[in-house]
Structure 1
Amino acid sequence: MKIAIVHYWLVSMRGGEKVLEELCRLYPTADIFTLVLDRDAISPFLASRTIHTSFLQRIPGARKHYQKLLPLMPFALEHLDLSAYDLVISSESGPAKGVITRPDAVHVCYCHSPMRYVWDHYHVYRRDLPWSAQLLLMLFAPPLRAWDCSTSARVDAFVANSHHVARRIKRYYNREADVIHPPVAIDDFAIEDGSKDFYLCAGQLVTYKRIDIAVRAFTKTNRRLVVIGEGAQLEKLKQIAGPTITFLGHQPFPVLREHMARCRALVFPGEEDFGIVPLEVMASGRPVIAFDAGGARETVPPNRGFRFAEQTVESLLDAVERFEAVENEIDSVALRQHASGFAPDVFRERMRNFVEARIAASLATGAPAAGETVRSWNRPANEDHPPVAFARLGDMESKGF
């Protein structure tokens, strides 16, 4: 069986690329297809794989300015030749599912998010652009939405990284999606002793992350806040920050890991599709104060964190005060145990079960069957997984699939 994994672009190592790594470990002989590649910006593990790029790779400056090539991406994806592959797994956040596969191939889409910049975050992204870029986005967004919707029919089965994303897949594509949470590298983090005298924000500094709420709240109350990350909002955030706010910019992983283990709590004021950073902090034994929306509802349960209902300074500070009232009772071991339910081996097992079930359905019916209902393949680590009546991949290969 020949397997292809299609990833939107490979120019950094973020949550989507960590999922790609685990898919490659699950299918070690799979070839990778991507729109644009920067081998120096990805992990040695991914860089060592067979990676095919689109014609966009040959455009000067594409690796740095790939987002400006969005109108060309549908054409580039459809020119990727996947005719030799029996199983195609697309990793979707930017466009990826729009590839053309053989009629008898099985196409599974792992969707981190429908394209935010043409759907629910369209107006947020547009406001941050210069007027010329706003005009281009206004012109190209409608045909991109139409293409995005139409290409959902090319997918045999969707997997969403959260129930929040599954609902958006249903709204925009009218397709059901099973839910398999993405992997969190639990073993990369550890509980540490030592003083914990600051709060932490970590991630890309863009508008929808709402780091401004945390900066204003902690400036107002003279609490110490450390912000790790870079992005278009950095200078604006510095302008509203008081002396208790420290901006460290981009930091290497060892520095980030140390701050996660030594913070009083992570402050997570944005609405995320899933949100891996809160789980990484919990794997470090520290609590999370999160906006009560999106993926945080699935990763930060009430008995393991503190959620606030509105994206306002007052609502955030109310949650901070609730946390500080019980801070000495925080159980670091219980937080880490909760995060372990999202470990990479759990993700790989659930993805293997799901993909093999789709292959079995294809062999049984002669054509891949689309899912009928939303199901979650995420179960606590101490529970049995749902029974799966299908053959293993080796059996598929022995039957000449």
Structure 2
Amino acid sequence: MDTEIDRASPVNVASAKPRPEIAIAHDYLTQRGGAERVVLAMLRAFPEATIYTTLYHPDDTYAEFRSAKIVTSPLNRIPLFRRDHRLALALLPHASSMLKIPADIVIVSSTGWAHGFHMPGKVFVYCHSPARWLYLTEQYLGRPAWQSPVGWGLTLLKPFLRWWDGRAAKRADKYVANSTVVRQRLKDVYGIEAEVFHPPHSVDISGERTPVRGIEDFVQQGGHFLIVSRLLPYKNVGEAIEAFRYLDERLLVIGAGPLAADLRESCPANVKIIEHLTDAQMRWAYSLCRAVIAPSHEDFGITPLEAGAWGKPTIALRGGGYLDTIVEGITGRFIERPSAQFIRDAVESFDPARWDPEAIRAHANTFSEERFRERLRREILDFGRELEG
């Protein structure tokens, strides 16, 4: 462990105070999404930190994690759980509670599990949302709980899971919320008053752009609409696909998830679904699109900012985190409901000439990763001072 020594005067090295050891915790690293992007930004702020997580599947998340030191729970030995963390639901509370992090300060990126890891040190929780599947179950499932096996399982486990979750939340030293809507959820669910600390976008528009093999003819010279999303019920991607069924426009969907097979079967010829793109391929898809469509119920909603880095506007559902990331009439427009008809109307009335790319980029730059890292370092430095005191 490093020590901080004042080189201007003689110091007894043995008595020098050790620099606090910092670790990062995250629920599971088995997918590519906004929360995982935030973990990468945390790692770039503290590159020596070890990441602790329940499950890690290198092929299904961002390649940058391969160079990090990652510690997993025993559940990671089971390939089935690495492929679908939902199958481990009944075991995750115990596995999370037993995952000990022997660091002085832990930066927790949590949507439901990581705040319950065994952390004897000081705990700083960056909350993307209290567990959506626990407190917004019907929205998460896209249907009433009794209509699916997963819903039945959640219903049976919910009393225990809520007890476990509330107990885990009380052990944190500080919570921050990634958006105003999540701040309100933290107050409603845990009684916690949290500051808003927006996540960054990490788009590098100067990087290489690589076409996605097999869809060059579909994309052509650009002008397509774009959705970047996990394929889950509450993301409403199916409604967007239905909206394009009778439109003379193209929709490119980038994402993976349990609905992938069903959504592919329902796609008309003017809609394509692809997954597991590299950053260079993502740049290609974003740079050539006309606009992004974001019809989901989001805790933060980072895709309008990723689109904004390219000067592209967003058509988004009026609600959730999009209220924090979109300036109506400047960086995008809202739809009132995530239905095929509302999406179709917005696309048909979309006029690319009315949007100012430079104004959109300027707004996206206020959510830069550099600003995020600076604030995170200040927050953790305060924790370090408390330890020294």
Please state which band the TM-score falls in when normalised by the shorter chain. Answer: 0.7 to 0.9
- The reply to whether residue 2 of structure 1 matches residue 21 of structure 2 is yes
The yes-or-no answer on 1:175 pairing with 2:192 is: yes
Match of 2:12 in 1: none
The answer to whether the 8 Å contact 1:205/1:234 transfers is yes
Give the drift of 1:145.
Answer: 1.5
Q: 2:16 corresponds to which residue?
A: none
**Equivalent residue letter for 1:138:** T
Q: For residues 283-331 of structure 1, give each alpha carbon's deviation from its aligned partner in whole angstroms, at most 9, with x where no partner exists.
A: 112111111111111111112111111222333334334432xx21322
Are positions 1:153 and 2:167 aligned together? no
What residue is the counterpart of 2:10 in the other structure? none
Corresponding residue of 1:114: 130
* The 10-residue stretch of structure 1 (294-303 or 41-50) with the greater mean CA deviation from structure 2: 41-50
Residue 273 of structure 2 corresponds to residue 247 of structure 1? yes
Matched letter for residue 340 of structure 1: N
Task: Kindly report which structure 2 residues correspond to 1:207-286, keeping only aligned pairs within 5 A, or say none.
Answer: 207-286=233-312
1:2-401 equivalences in 2 (<5 Å): 2-43=21-62, 45-59=64-78, 61-82=80-101, 84-102=102-120, 105-122=121-138, 124-125=140-141, 127=143, 131-188=148-205, 195-302=221-328, 303-324=330-351, 327-360=352-385, 362=386, 396=388
Rounded to whole Å, the distance in 1 between the matches of 2:159 and 2:142 is 14
SS of equivalent residue, structure 2 residue 248: coil
Q: Tell me if structure 2 keeps the 8 A contact 1:201–1:227.
A: yes
Q: TM-score, normalised by structure 2?
A: 0.83
Residue deviations 1:94-147, cap 9 Å, x none?
401012333xx3211011121111111346427499854443222112211121
Q: 1:191 to 1:111 in 2, by over 3 A?
A: same
Query: 2:49 & 2:256 partners in 1: Cα distance?
Result: 33
Greater Cα offset, 161-170 or 220-229: 220-229
Percent identity of the aligned residues?
34
2:317 touches 2:335 (CA, 8 Å); kept in 1?
Answer: yes
TM-fit CA distance, 1:349: 0.8
- Asked if 2 retains the 8 angstrom alpha-carbon contact of 1:289 and 1:305, the reply is yes
- The alpha-carbon deviation at position 150 of structure 1 amounts to 1.8
List alignment gaps of at least 5 residues for structure 1. 364-395
Q: Is the 8 A contact 1:10 1:36 kept in 2?
A: yes
Counterpart secondary structure, 1:290: strand
Kept in 1, the 8 Å contact 2:138–2:144? The answer is: no
How many residues are treated as equivalent by the alignment? 358
* In 1, Cα distance between equivalents of 2:345 and 2:59: 44
Residue pair 2:139, 2:234 contacting (<8 A) in 1 also? no
Equivalent pair of 1:191/1:283 in contact (CA under 8 Å): no
Partner amino acid, structure 2, of 1:187: D
